[in-house]
A and B are shown apart, each in its own frame.
Chain A
């Protein structure tokens, strides 16, 4: 279906897109009177130039891996799940309930329980739009985005009226007990005698994110269910002819997708804030779409794209700090350009490259 060799498709095109995005970003930085090379250096040094930077980059990347996988797996069944934001928020409620309502003796017990809680809540939230799509044909794009608002409303209601700590002004739950705190990279690396800065919030959830990526790969390319999901995605009539029931596949795929999005909450709610806040998702649900697009819906691509977006986030903070002329909105513009070039304008690079590839055939 493409004239390009595989390596060009998975590596060269994203790389060229990135270079283009940074080139245009550089022009904009120049236009506001700063040196683009300095800006680039600040971003790269700030995000991966130190253990501190890596700590934050990987923390953000953890979120994006989960939401990116959630979008990617739904893409394989040609379902566009843009409800990651809401599913992750509800997953946060699940994780918080598990952490607050049981007296856990140790984090090693609280952690698996919170994983189950977060995934189950996220999956349940995705199951409703999935059912509406599978049985009623209500378009999943519309329903999942509307469910984001319902999730947000539910979260505000619960935090203000039910879960808010008494005597507390901010709408947040009470802090989780110390036994439900996840070890950060600082603590985990100390076990093996490696020192790592204390403040970055990257924690054991990162390992779960890597494990989830591996499991998604196995599921999609090495199981019957994965085959059915992909078959559904390529052609629904063909899948039905082969005896695959679309209702079942839509429900299962969306619940796995919602569960993965919900898992994001273990990183932000249990790993970082150690309490349930008003906005536990921090926009990662939407960034997940860009991550999945850029990662070509492949787990390895998703992990790499998630780390890139983690770098953009962390590097963006450093840029804002080091160069006061670069405002928060400028950082957003640079992030948006990367999404634009890698996601939407992919064919701009692909078409000429394919022509070149054909010339050398």
Chain B
């Protein structure tokens, strides 16, 4: 987090020091709500961390319906909030309409590119992080059968799945990855019971490591994996602590640092596309006391060398968004 923060904040911090009147920043949570134990909650904890550190205050709005997107962005911009942070790709279309109307306000969107001079688009390279946890999963698996549980079948989740499968296949070409999606409505992000059910079905087919990218549903995935004595892999936040000893690792996506950095940079922030991966510390595989016994030296060496090769450009992990398709599946 510190590392990413310094990268993003570096230049802006200098200019910020001069300006006395700092506008209140704001954050808009998507229809899913802020306490989703996952993406939005991570954004919220970044905002809270900033509040504690900087002693400032911020505005927040949780959307109730799609039609309120533009309305909420406009309302905050008109009220002088700056910068305005939106975690979630769904804000893309609305923001590209509203951003030109408020050229003096800075906007930050996470997981989506909005090509406007006053917008910072933060992209996480989830496919690279998923590749590395795929490598770890394939090395830890004894059966050669691995599982993936997604929330809803949307392109972003296919991006996670695609990177994971590539990492698994690169490590063990004979492996098999079973992929399931939880549901077709927004409820799929918060259905731990169904997540556990899918996990048990995958276990019955021989899976012994299951990776989830399913928000709150993942709690059930990790629980079912722990109950059956196999390994789960967490996502977004470090979820190793949820089932100590049964969570192999977590694909950490530091949405909180992105929000924190945006709030700290303030109205003078640099805009443009910010891509975040291993080098910036915004993507990582989690290693702590809860999973230390599970990650052998050999696995750690394998994962670290995969990261090095990705950073050096020797491994090019295919991004699902580039072609709307996945080479391995």
Residues of B within 8 A of A149 (CB): 184-185
Interface hit among B139-147, B148-156, B257-265: B148-156
Q: Is B16 an interface residue (CB 8 A)?
A: no
Across the two chains, which residue of chain A brings its CB closest to B70?
A199
Q: Are B65 and A283 in contact (CB under 8 A)?
A: yes
Encoded as 1 (CB less than 8 Å from any A CB) or 0, chain B from 146 to 188 comes to 0000001111101000000000000000000000000011100
Q: Are B66 and A279 in contact (CB under 8 A)?
A: yes
Which B residues from 52 to 81 make CB contacts under 8 A with A? Answer: 59-68, 70-72, 74-75
How many residues of A sit at the interface, in one of the four size bands?
35 or more
Q: A59-B67, A321-B75 are in contact. Are A328 and B184 (CB under 8 A)?
A: no
In-complex Cβ contact of A328 among B62, B66, B92, B185 (8 A): B62
In-complex Cβ contact of A282 among B60, B66, B111 (8 A): B66
Q: A164-B324, A170-B89 are in contact. Are A277 and B66 (CB under 8 A)?
A: yes
- What distance in Å separates the Cβ of B80 from its nearest Cβ neighbour in chain A? 13
Interchain CA distance A297-B89 in the complex, whole Å = 40
- What distance in Å separates the Cβ of A106 from its nearest Cβ neighbour in chain B? 23
Interchain CA distance A164-B156 in the complex, whole Å = 13
Residues of A within 8 A of B184 (CB): 149, 152-153, 155-157
Encoded as 1 (CB less than 8 Å from any B CB) or 0, chain A from 314 to 338 comes to 0011001100100110011000000
Q: Are A275 and B93 in contact (CB under 8 A)?
A: yes
Q: Is A340 an interface residue (CB 8 A)?
A: no
Encoded as 1 (CB less than 8 Å from any A CB) or 0, chain B from 175 to 211 comes to 0000000001110000000000000000000000000
- What distance in Å separates the Cβ of B130 from its nearest Cβ neighbour in chain A? 16
Interchain CA distance A160-B89 in the complex, whole Å = 14
Q: Is A193 an interface residue (CB 8 A)?
A: no
Q: Is B112 an interface residue (CB 8 A)?
A: yes
Q: Are B324 and A170 in contact (CB under 8 A)?
A: no
Encoded as 1 (CB less than 8 Å from any B CB) or 0, chain A from 16 to 59 comes to 00000000000000000000000000000000000000001001
How many residues of B sit at the interface, in one of the four size bands?
35 or more
Residues of A within 8 A of B153 (CB): 156-157, 160
Interchain CA distance A201-B70 in the complex, whole Å = 10
User: For A149, A152, A153, A172, which residue has the most chain B Cβ atoms within 10 angstroms?
Assistant: A152
Q: Is A313 an interface residue (CB 8 A)?
A: yes
In-complex Cβ contact of B62 among A167, A175, A282, A327 (8 A): A327
Residues of B within 8 A of A175 (CB): 93
Q: A166-B324, A169-B111, A199-B74 are in contact. Are A313 and B185 (CB under 8 A)?
A: no
Interchain CA distance A56-B64 in the complex, whole Å = 14
Q: Is B45 an interface residue (CB 8 A)?
A: no
- What distance in Å separates the Cβ of B324 from its nearest Cβ neighbour in chain A? 6
Q: Is B281 an interface residue (CB 8 A)?
A: no
Residues of B within 8 A of A278 (CB): 90, 154
Q: Are B75 and A313 in contact (CB under 8 A)?
A: no
Q: Is B302 an interface residue (CB 8 A)?
A: no
Across the two chains, which residue of chain A brings its CB closest to B181?
A156
Q: Is A60 an interface residue (CB 8 A)?
A: yes
Interchain CA distance A332-B62 in the complex, whole Å = 12
Q: A156-B154, A272-B67 are in contact. Are A169 and B89 (CB under 8 A)?
A: yes
In-complex Cβ contact of A279 among B33, B59, B186 (8 A): B186
Q: Are A170 and B93 in contact (CB under 8 A)?
A: yes
Which B residues from 273 to 329 make CB contacts under 8 A with A? Answer: 321, 324
Which residues of B line the A interface, CB within 8 A? 31, 33, 59-68, 70-72, 74-75, 89-90, 92-93, 111-113, 152-156, 158, 184-186, 321, 324
Given pairs A172-B93, A320-B61, 11 additional interface contacts (CB within 8 A): A56-B71, A153-B184, A157-B184, A170-B92, A199-B70, A199-B74, A268-B66, A279-B31, A321-B72, A324-B59, A331-B64
